[in-house]
């Protein structure tokens, strides 16, 4: 979960929101929504434990065409786009540390390198993921600790002030939640590899709930440190907020070290998304003959064809879209697919009341309703304020669903 979003979102949020309390509430509200989502997915994943995420769940509960559309969204903007975004952010951070580096070239090399790593070996890919994740959490904890006790902090207050309520009900707050929702992307990752998890009926819910709660605390503290350490005008509209904040906390040399550390952190993010995306394609290939080539694995159980497809889509994103565009496309599309999946919980409860459910959603139906209400509110204002990006997100989903019916017809012709 921890990666691009938390180190890049604040600068864009400050364009529309200047008050500290609403900025902090963005991360609290986003965390609550993610926790509600994990509770719902925990029930669905424990009751229907198969890899594939929304593809598997929506195919099984609503209709194969809806699941197919969600699967394409997950494999492209759900995992491929975040991998590209993390690589772009890494390029931005490294070019700030080492002026003159080509950000696009760095992103392309990183994407190519991790596809090569995960296509060659599951073992080495997993070892890198475990090690880089440990470095990532350690770096964030150091950053927070030094930031909270720095010598010359900014004078800010986390307490609400007059007008903050109106800000939190504004369109700017709702659209900023797209960035926050993207930063929490990954809270549901366990359901994508449910078939590979030991004792999934117990461990899916445990891993998602513990992970999301831990990340929520880190995100709130980290964004507070960004605001506490750097003046608003220095980070507004900027991608590399961590590096800018690091200059204030550690000085220029220390910030360069932190910038390199954040780059390592982003390597971990790229790696995790590159690893999972092809496995969704592989599950889809098992179920649909017209894309059956995606199910093929080598002797090490690695879906090589799916990796090649993902690599091609990654380079398309790198060459054709800006950082902000890719993030909005991904954020809106993912909110729509997860919203559909939460709705499927109600459908499954009605259609299969006797299904074995090792885990049941706490405070049902309130928990899924909170998730749905907040996300529908975000989507409404996203449509009003970011109409083009919203329509692209809708277009990706509807086109993906249409392909379910169109591809078999074309193959017959």
DSSP codes joined into one string, 345-388: HHHHHHH-TTS--SS--TTTTHHHHHHHHHHHHHHHHHHHHSHH
pLDDT in tens, 181-199: 878 877 777 666 655 566 6
DSSP conformational letter for 320:
H
- At 346 the pLDDT is 95
Cα distance between residue 38 and residue 367, in whole Å: 10
In terms of pLDDT, which residue wins out, 73 or 218? 218
Residue 298 has pLDDT above 90, yes or no: no
CATH number of 4-412: 1.20.1740.10
Is 0.75 topped by the overall pTM? yes
Which residues have C-beta within 8 Å of that of residue 181, sequence separation ≥ 6? 30, 33, 34, 331, 334, 335, 375, 378
Tell me what pLDDT residue 198 has: 67
Whole-angstrom distance, CA of residue 95 vs CA of residue 328: 23
Q: Binning pLDDT at 50, 70 and 90, where does residue 114 land?
A: confident
Q: What is the pLDDT of residue 50?
A: 74
Averaged pLDDT for residues 244-258: 81
Residue 106 pLDDT level (bands cut at 50, 70, 90): confident
**Average pLDDT over all residues of the chain:** 82
What does the pLDDT average to over 363-375? Answer: 92
Confidence of residue 61 (pLDDT cuts 50, 70, 90): very high
Q: If you average pLDDT over residues 270-284, what whole number do you get?
A: 81
Q: Which of 190, 200, 161, 168 lies closest to 381, judged by CA?
A: 168
Give me the mean pLDDT over the 168-175 stretch: 86
Distances from the Cα of 226 to the Cαs of 11, 144, 239, in angstroms?
Answer: 10, 9, 13
Q: Which two tokens stand for residue 218?
A: 């880190």
Kindly state the helix (H) or strand (E) to which residue 279 belongs, with its residue range: helix 241-287
**pLDDT beyond 80 at 48:** yes
Reported confidence tier of residue 176, pLDDT bands at 50, 70, 90: confident
Under 8 Å between Cβ of 220 and 31: yes
Choice between 299 and 115, residue whose per-residue pLDDT is larger: 115
Average pLDDT, stretch 89-113?
A: 82
Which residue's entry shows tokens 């690599």?
311
Break the chain into its structural domains and give their ranges: 4-412
Distance between first and last Cα of the chain: 43
Compute the average pLDDT of residues 292-310: 82
CA distances from 356 to 46, 352, 365 (A): 9, 9, 18
Higher pLDDT, 114 or 240: 114
> Per the structure block, which two tokens stand in for 402?
């249409």
- pLDDT grade for 339, boundaries at 50, 70 and 90: very high
Largest separation between any pair of C-alpha atoms in the chain:
71
pLDDT at site 32: 92
How far apart are the C-alpha atoms of 239 and 137, rounded to whole Å?
20
The answer on pLDDT for 76 being more than 80 is no
Residue 2 DSSP SS3: coil
CB atoms within 10 A of CB 407: 14
Q: What is the pLDDT of residue 373?
A: 94
> Averaging pLDDT over each range in 73-82, 135-144, 222-231, 296-305, which range is the top one?
222-231
């Amino acid at each position: 979960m921890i990666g691009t979003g938390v180190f890049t979102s604040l600068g864009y949020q400050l364009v529309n929101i200047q008050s500290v309390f609403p900025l902090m509430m963005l991360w609290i509200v986003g965390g609550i929504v993610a926790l509600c989502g994990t509770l719902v997915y925990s029930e669905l994943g424990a009751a229907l434990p198969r890899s594939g995420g929304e593809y598997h769940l929506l195919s099984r509960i609503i209709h194969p065409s809806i699941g197919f559309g969600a699967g394409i969204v997950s494999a492209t903007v759900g995992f491929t786009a975040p991998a590209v975004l993390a690589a772009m952010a890494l390029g931005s951070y490294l070019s700030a540390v080492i002026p003159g580096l080509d950000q696009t070239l760095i992103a392309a090399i990183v994407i190519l390198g991790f596809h090569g790593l995960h296509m060659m070996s599951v073992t080495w890919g997993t070892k890198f993921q475990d090690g880089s994740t440990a470095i990532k959490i350690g770096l964030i904890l150091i950053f927070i600790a030094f930031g909270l006790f720095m010598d010359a902090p900014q004078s800010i207050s986390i307490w609400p002030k007059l007008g903050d309520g109106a800000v939190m009900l504004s369109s700017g707050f709702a659209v900023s939640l797209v960035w926050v929702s993207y930063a929490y992307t990954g809270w549901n990752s366990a359901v994508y590899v449910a078939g590979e998890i030991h004792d999934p009926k117990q461990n899916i819910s445990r891993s998602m709930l513990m992970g999301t709660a831990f990340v929520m605390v880190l995100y709130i503290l980290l964004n507070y440190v960004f605001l506490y350490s750097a003046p608003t005008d220095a980070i507004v509209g900027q991608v590399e907020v961590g590096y800018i904040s690091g200059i204030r906390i550690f000085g220029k040399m220390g910030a360069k070290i932190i910038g390199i550390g954040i780059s390592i952190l982003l390597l971990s993010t790229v790696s995790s998304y590159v690893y999972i995306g092809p496995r969704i394609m592989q599950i889809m290939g098992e179920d649909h003959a017209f894309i059956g080539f995606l199910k093929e694995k080598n002797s090490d159980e690695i879906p090589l064809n799916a990796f090649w497809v993902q690599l091609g889509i990654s380079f398309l994103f790198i060459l054709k879209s800006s950082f902000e565009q890719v993030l909005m496309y991904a954020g809106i599309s993912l909110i729509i697919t997860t919203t559909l999946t939460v709705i499927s919980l109600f459908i499954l409860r009605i259609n299969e009341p006797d299904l074995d459910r090792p885990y049941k959603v706490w405070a049902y139906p309130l928990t899924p309703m909170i998730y749905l209400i907040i996300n529908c509110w975000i989507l409404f204002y996203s449509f009003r304020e970011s109409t083009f990006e919203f329509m692209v997100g809708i277009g990706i989903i509807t086109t993906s669903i249409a392909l379910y019916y169109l591809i078999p017809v074309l193959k017959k012709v």
